[in-house]
Amino acid sequence: MKIAFVVEAFPVVSQTFVLNQITGLINLGHEVDIYAEFLGDTQKVHPDVVAYQLLERTYYQPKVPVNKLKRVIQALYLVMLYLFRDPILVLRSINIFKYGKQAASLRIFYSAIPFMGSRRAYDIIQCHFGLLGIKGMLLRDIGAISGKLITAFHGVDISQNLRLFGENIYDDLLQTGDHFLPISHHWQKRLIELGCDPAKITVHHMGIDCQRFTFLPRSPALGETVRLISVARLTEKKGIEFGIRAVAIALQSHPNLEYTIVGDGELRTELTQLIDWLGIADQVKLLGWRNQTEVVDLLNQSHILLAPSVTATDGNQEGIPVALMEAMAMGLPVITTYHSGIPELVEDGVSGFLVPERDAEALAKKLIFVLQQSDCWAVIEQAGRLKVEQEFAINLLNEHLVQLYQSFISSGQEHPLPEKSCGKVRDRRSSDTHPTLINS
């Protein structure tokens, strides 16, 4: 099969779930191209990006100027440049009568540039995140690309985005998209609530390569320092604030704790100040980003993983964090929250431990309980590994994904786009900062 991945940025160090799909499909003998709006992480690159020469398979659209005037001036130049190469596609991409603001803002035009003069025919157009599904829908409608349109919904796209743009944002996509792959039953239910035909939905988990994560027993020796770890972007929905507060409470009765937080983000300064204010800077460290190899080394040195995910104040929610899967595959007991699809991975008291969101005291109490029950960790560790191997192993998931793709290809014709305009939604920050539906 020929498969096109439509993503916002590539490569992205925090999106190993996308990378695992791409490399897995290549391993299974399929041809994969990647279409990204902009170049992602270049300082911390996953080894597979290099090993599979994925940047050579990636096509980027021109950078869209933030300033409206500069955007128009650049677009005029590009329109003249490509008008001779592919006049039909240029004119379709700026058809304001059909696409309204999406065309007037030149978002469709910029997104179509990688296809100018070389229309791309694929069996599958795999879009990751709902707004990129809208982008794929519009590119397919103007004739830039063809294939079955499949959209994976992860978390932010079906939580925060609904608050920002309204619950009708995906109406056209849900009608015309060929199939939808929410990563959890939690998001499957939400898609149905939004009016999606249940027959067009299949839950398809993201997963990990279990072979890359060696299982090790974790029970600490008597008197040994217990090393806690979180691997997460420093954003509100990751709940790291509550992990820090819980550790501060637990340190009062268990002073032999160390807490390492791997990741970076907009809350780093705030979390650093919280650590200092709580007086636990000697026990709690913010390490910043680390690559996959470094993360695995840190997990190998740790005893327990904390993943205190929460629903952010803007509605943003998790999917099922890959960091939890990796930790469980390596034998770490995990303490996390009743949040989004996490209970589909972690069963409280069986394959890990769950506490309510935003409850540092409950998290601390559970942590202390786990510390006091270290003799019983082995059962939890084995159950966690087994859960990941059976339901979240990327090789099995990718084989299942291929079967799904083949069923979609044999299921009939593509759906046409509705006649109504798709250009009704404003940018989530402002109309002047960064394009949204096309540049989500």
pLDDT at 138 over 60: yes
Structure-token match 């509100």, residue found: 236
Mean pLDDT for all residues in the chain: 91
Length of the chain: 440
Q: Beta partners for 355?
A: 337
Give CA–CA dist 33/3, Å, rounded. 6
| pLDDT number for residue 127 | 98
pLDDT at residue 440 in the model: 32
CB 338 within 8 A of CB 319: no
Q: What is the pLDDT of residue 426?
A: 32
Residue 414 — pLDDT band, cuts 50, 70, 90?
low
Strand partners, 286: 261
For residue range 193-236, list pLDDT tens digits in order: 999 999 999 999 999 999 999 999 998 888 899 999 999 999 99
pLDDT band (50, 70, 90) for residue 290: confident
57, amino acid identity: R
d(CA 375, CA 379): 9
| Model pLDDT, residue 413 | 54
Buried b (16+ CB within 10 A) or exposed e, 208-240: bbbeebebeebeeeeeeebbbbbbbbbbbbbbb
Q: How many CB atoms lie within 10 A of CB 415?
A: 15
Phi and psi at 89, nearest 5°, equal: -65, -40
pLDDT in tens, 174-191: 999 999 999 999 999 999
pTM, 2 dp: 0.89
Banded model confidence at residue 120, pLDDT cuts 50, 70, 90: confident
User: Please, which residues have CB within 8 angstroms of residue 171's CB and are 6 or more apart in sequence?
Assistant: 195
Domains defined along the chain, listed by start: 2-207+395-409 (3.40.50.2000), 210-391 (3.40.50.2000)
How buried is residue 65: exposed, middle or buried, by Cβ count under 10 Å (0-12/13-18/19+)?
middle
* pLDDT exceeds cutoff 80 at 432: no
Q: Which range, of 98-107, 129-138, 409-418, averages the lowest pLDDT? A: 409-418
